[in-house]
């Protein structure tokens, strides 16, 4: 299997070499690497250029944008910019990785093995760990069955079926739900422990609540499911204000009929799937009592 790895990068001079070194040290090296320098103002491009001779096929693409870095849409735009710079249909696996991760040496090999062993496996990834008090611990910000946006790997046909990555906040959940809709399996491999060198969302903490509201809206959640999701996020973050800010943002988007990047059919599936998942968990919890 031949891999295409696309890494969007914005001002990653502190971490980029660690990410590239971890790719150089992989036990499976059948990949083309594209780094998308998305308007960096530091030495990201200089560092990347130093690595070109070290890889069999490493390309650097510059977007020449000077906008402030934003989560969601802008990251996906940079990814798609790199993806469309090459004939990606000739690859078997497409990966979207971040520029601030350290992959275990067997990461790509285990991803490849997963795809080989199960032809219905559409997406696969490891688990994310962050450093706290000099120890690497699991970053518990998502369901352990969810593949984090920093380490996405897609079987090419699955990527085609889900129509690629949507340019919106929440894309890394939307892709999995649409993959499931198209009868693909989504799987995490807990043994593949990926080190994330920046805590998730540390740049966006002040706008976290609004981003959650945008996310719930973009995902197509209905009114009641959004209330439940906002309450859960508020409880997890121990912040009452988070509930009101995130829910108001959802209502605001609904009132203004903000464009979603998913179809009505996809919204219908996602709502039904999320409700079934919630009711199943509630049933299991009640049964445990």
Same domain, 232 and 152: no
Same domain, 176 and 228: no
Same domain, 142 and 247: no
Determine the 3-state secondary structure of 180 from DSSP.
Answer: helix
Torsion of CA 196, 40, 202, 140, to 10 degrees: -30
Same domain, 139 and 44: yes
- pLDDT given for residue 68 in this prediction: 52
Task: Give 250-287 pLDDT, tens digit per residue.
Answer: 999 999 999 999 999 999 999 999 999 889 877 765 55
Strand partners, 195: 102, 129
Give the least confident one: 11-20, 84-93, 123-132, 140-149: 140-149
pLDDT at 192 over 50: yes
Same domain, 185 and 211: no
Same domain, 184 and 209: no
The CATH number given to whatever domain includes residue 52 is 3.90.550.10
- pLDDT given for residue 70 in this prediction: 52
Of 179, 196, 213, which marks where a domain is finished? 196
Same domain, 219 and 161: no
Query: Domain span at residue 104?
Result: 3-196
Same domain, 180 and 282: no
Mean pLDDT of 127-154: 93
Same domain, 16 and 114: yes
Task: Give 79-114 pLDDT, tens digit per residue.
Answer: 999 999 999 999 999 999 999 999 999 999 999 999
Same domain, 53 and 173: yes
- Where are any strands of DSSP class E within 133-239? 135-138, 151-155, 185-196
Mean pLDDT of 169-180: 96
Same domain, 69 and 211: no
DSSP string, 26-75: -S---EEEEEEE-S-SSSHHHHHHHHGGGSSSEEEEE----SPP-STHHH
Q: Looking at the 3D structure of the chain, how many domains does it have?
A: 2
Same domain, 191 and 215: no
């Amino acid at each position: 299997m031949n891999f295409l790895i696309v890494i969007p990068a914005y001002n990653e001079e502190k971490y980029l070499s660690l990410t590239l070194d971890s790719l150089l040290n992989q036990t499976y090296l059948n990949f083309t690497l594209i780094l998308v320098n998305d308007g960096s103002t530091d030495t990201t491009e200089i560092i990347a250029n130093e690595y070109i001779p070290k890889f069999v096929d490493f390309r650097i693409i510059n977007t020449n944008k000077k906008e402030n870095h934003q989560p969601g849409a802008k990251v996906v735009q940079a990814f798609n910019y790199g993806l469309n710079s090459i004939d990606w249909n000739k690859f078997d696996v497409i990966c979207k990785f971040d520029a601030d991760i350290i992959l275990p040496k067997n990461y790509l090999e285990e991803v490849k093995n997963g795809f080989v062993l199960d032809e219905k496996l559409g997406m696969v990834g490891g688990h994310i760990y962050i450093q706290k008090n000099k120890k690497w611990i699991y970053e518990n910000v998502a369901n352990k069955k969810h593949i984090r946006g920093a380490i996405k790997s897609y079987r090419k046909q699955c990527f085609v079926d889900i129509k690629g990555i949507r340019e919106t906040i929440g894309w890394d959940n939307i892709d999995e739900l649409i993959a499931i809709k198209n009868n693909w399996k989504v799987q995490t491999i807990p043994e593949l422990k990926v080190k994330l060198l920046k805590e998730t969302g540390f740049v966006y903490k002040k706008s976290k609540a609004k981003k959650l509201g945008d996310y719930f809206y973009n995902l197509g959640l209905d009114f009641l499911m959004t209330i439940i999701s906002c309450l859960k996020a508020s409880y997890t973050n121990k912040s009452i204000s988070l509930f009101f800010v995130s829910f108001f943002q959802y209502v605001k988007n609904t009132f203004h009929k903000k464009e979603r990047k998913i179809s009505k059919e996809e919204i219908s599936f996602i709502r039904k799937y999320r409700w079934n998942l919630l009711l199943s968990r509630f049933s299991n919890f009640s049964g445990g009592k």
